[in-house]
Amino acid sequence: MDRKRAKKLLTEQLAELDEREGWARGDGGEQVPDQGAVSQHPADYGSDLANEMERELMVQTISRERQQIMDALQRIEDGTYGRCSVDGEPIDDARLEARPEAEMCLPHQEEAERHGQR
C-alpha cells in the first residue's frame, strides 16, 4: 500500500477514535456515586455502575487501538510500514487496506492470536 494512502487511513482512524473516546468518556465527567450516598433503587445503581464500567472498558480499548495506529504511523516514518514484524516480508495490500495498522501478515497474526498474543 502506498504510504500516503496508509497515512490518510490511519489519520482518519485517529479522528474516529477521538470521537468515540469523547462519547465513551461522556465529556460530562459524571461518575456513579457510592451506593450509600444516593437514595436510588439498587437496580438503578447497578445499571449505572454497569454503564460506567462499559464506558471505562471502551476507553481502554480505544487507548490500545490508538497506540496501534501511532505505532503504524511511526513505522511509516521509519520506512518499515507494510512489512511483517516477524519475518520482514511484505504484508498483503488487501490486509493493509482493511487493517492499515497491521504489523504482521495474516498467517503470523493468526498464529499470535492462537498463542494468546495480541
103 closest CA partner among 60, 70, 63? 70
pLDDT of residue 29: 47
CA 51, 57, 59, 61 torsion: positive or negative?
Answer: negative
The CA distances from residue 75 to 10, 49, 59, 114, 115, in Å, are 12, 39, 24, 25, 24
Query: Average model confidence (pLDDT) for the chain?
Result: 86
pLDDT in tens, 34-74: 545 555 666 777 787 787 888 889 999 999 999 999 999 99
Orientation angle between helical segments 42-78 and 3-25, nearest 10 degrees: 160
pTM of the model: 0.75
**Domain annotation for the chain: domains and CATH numbers:** 3-25+42-114 (1.20.120.910)
C-alpha cell at 38: 444516593
* 30-34 contacts at long range (C-beta below 8 A, 24 or more positions apart): none
In the structure grid, which three cell numbers stand for residue 15, read together? 479522528
Q: Which pLDDT value is given to residue 34?
A: 52
Predicted local confidence at residue 40, as pLDDT: 63
| CA atoms of 24 and 60, how far apart (whole Å) | 10
